[in-house]
Amino acid sequence: MSEQQIDVLIVDDHPMFRQGLRDLIETDPDLNVVGEASDGDGALKMGAELQPDVILMDINLPTLNGLQVTRQLRDEQEEIRVVMITGYDDPEQVFHAFRAGASAYCPKDITPEALIQTIKAANQGLYVVGERAMTNDQLISWMEEKVSLMPGSLPQDDEEIFEPLTPRQMEVLELVTKGMSNKEIAYELSISHQTVKNHMTAILRKLRCHDRTQAAVYALSHGWIRLDAD
């Protein structure tokens, strides 16, 4: 096995899609599949144990979504690269993926050749979207341009537009999608009612949503929360 090989972890809850990715990756001598995970918890465990160079990550996963997993893995392993490969292909989703710490964002209909090149570019420290590879400075400029075109009001703090939802905010948002009131969420998470209100204010600002119903619809429509989740 060559020392130059790029170790890849595949994370997707569809076995057939994982197998397709494995078959593709194994055609390239520079790439090596070190494992597969079918949900967010498994991705965190395998990411810590195997320490791959690159993770191919779906967003819509059981247990934890791909954005949550990406942020936690990147907090723990700064050198790891995450390539989001998902069916939820829209400009805002791309933006959230990079905010969470992803290095690349690909639709599931990406060509095999482009995906392989994206994996290699991400491993080199570049950021890729729409098959365009960018440096960190170029990515920031790209994100600022995209933000200016998004509907809705922007956070007053310029830094905040680049902050992903915190783990606690994601927990609150998931409970909102289940129809819980702020009081019920406070009880469920053992936090104060005011803390829940503060989290909701931040969630609405970061997602540029007007109310909790809109935020819930946003999370569901982007695959952050699964309807079949317990």
Least confident of 157-166, 173-182, 205-214: 157-166
Q: How confident is the model at residue 230 (pLDDT cuts 50, 70, 90)?
A: very low
pTM: 0.76
**pLDDT for the residue numbered 20:** 94
pLDDT of residue 36: 96
**pLDDT per residue over 123-147, tens digit each?**
999 999 888 899 988 888 887 777 6
CATH placement of domain 165-221? 1.10.10.10
Query: pLDDT grade, residue 225 (50/70/90)?
Result: confident
CATH number of the structural domain 6-144: 3.40.50.2300
Q: Bigger pLDDT: 230 or 140?
A: 140
pLDDT at 156 (0 to 100):
45
Q: Summarize pLDDT for 25-82 with one digit per residue, the tens.
A: 999 999 999 999 999 999 999 999 999 999 999 998 988 899 999 989 988 888 999 9
The 3 state secondary structure assigned to the chain is CCCCCEEEEEECCCHHHHHHHHHHHCCCCCEEEEEEECCHHHHHHHHHHHCCCEEEECCCCCCCCHHHHHHHHHHHCCCCEEEEEECCCCHHHHHHHHHHCCCEEEECCCCHHHHHHHHHHHHCCCEEECCEEECHHHHHHHHHHHHHHCCCCCCCCHHHHHCCCCHHHHHHHHHHHCCCCHHHHHHHHCCCHHHHHHHHHHHHHHHCCCCHHHHHHHHHHCCCCCCCCC
Q: Where are the domains of the chain?
A: 6-144, 165-221
